[in-house]
């Protein structure tokens, strides 16, 4: 089959794209695919992992001679005690070795999760019923803290004190086990 672009060389790459529900197939030679900016497997172009690593600041920025010295020393220090995976290896592969890696790399993960999830690092979806009570109380505490901070900024100290007391009572409920599992 000949290349659909130049009609001269043999089509060695076959692409299928689905854009807005419309399927489009292309049969191109390597040269035309490169000219169109298509990713060619096995070529020296950046992979999607390289792109995401750069965006998430896992590794050195693209085009830089090496990682930032302070970043490199922190990466080498972080190692999961359970599986032995280093943060440096995690940064290259983008995959954890085990469930304990989350705790081992925790100091470096919050900023990454905040960037990826638009600033949210807490779960906001559905919650199992047995754990829901505690989470609802915690969400209520967070909401009351924000309100309390607003009252303090507006110098409405009596209202802030009432909210402080409500927060204290809710924290007591959690400690006493009244907030679910």
Domain limits, the chain: 1-39, 48-116, 129-175
Euclidean distance between CA atoms 25 and 16, whole angstroms: 4
**What tokens does 112 get?**
């990454």
Report the pLDDT value the prediction gives residue 157, as an integer from 0 to 100: 94
Euclidean distance between CA atoms 90 and 164, whole angstroms: 42
**CA-to-CA dists, residue 81 to 90, 101, 115, angstroms:** 14, 8, 27
Mean per-residue pLDDT of the chain: 76
What's the predicted TM-score (pTM) here? 0.33
Report the pLDDT value the prediction gives residue 40, as an integer from 0 to 100: 59
Report the pLDDT value the prediction gives residue 33, as an integer from 0 to 100: 82
Helix (H, G, I), strand (E, B) or coil at 79: strand
φ/ψ (deg, to 5) at 52: -65, -40
Positions in the chain whose pLDDT score sits under 50: 58-76, 181
φ/ψ (deg, to 5) at 108: -95, -15
pLDDT in tens, 67-112: 444 444 444 478 899 899 888 888 777 788 898 988 888 888 877 7
For the CA atoms of 117, 118, 121, 122, the dihedral, rounded to the nearest 10 degrees, stands at -90
Report the pLDDT value the prediction gives residue 144, as an integer from 0 to 100: 94
> ∠ at Cα 130 (174, 104), nearest 5°?
70
């Amino acid at each position: 089959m000949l290349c659909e672009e130049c009609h001269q060389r043999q089509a060695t790459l076959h692409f299928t794209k689905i854009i807005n529900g419309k399927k489009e197939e292309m049969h191109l030679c390597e040269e035309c695919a490169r000219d169109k900016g298509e990713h060619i497997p096995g070529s020296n172009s950046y992979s999607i992992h390289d792109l995401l690593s750069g965006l998430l600041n896992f590794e050195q920025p693209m085009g830089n001679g090496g990682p930032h010295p302070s970043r490199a020393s922190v990466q080498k220090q972080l190692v999961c005690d359970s599986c032995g995976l280093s943060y440096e290896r995690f940064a290259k592969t983008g995959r954890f070795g085990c469930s304990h890696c989350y705790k081992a790399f925790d100091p470096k993960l919050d900023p990454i999760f905040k960037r990826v999830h638009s600033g949210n690092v807490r779960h906001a979806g559905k919650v199992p019923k047995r754990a829901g009570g505690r989470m609802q109380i915690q969400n209520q505490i967070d909401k009351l803290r924000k309100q309390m901070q607003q009252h303090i900024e507006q110098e409405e100290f009596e209202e802030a004190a009432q909210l402080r007391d409500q927060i204290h009572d809710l924290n007591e409920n959690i400690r006493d086990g009244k907030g679910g599992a």
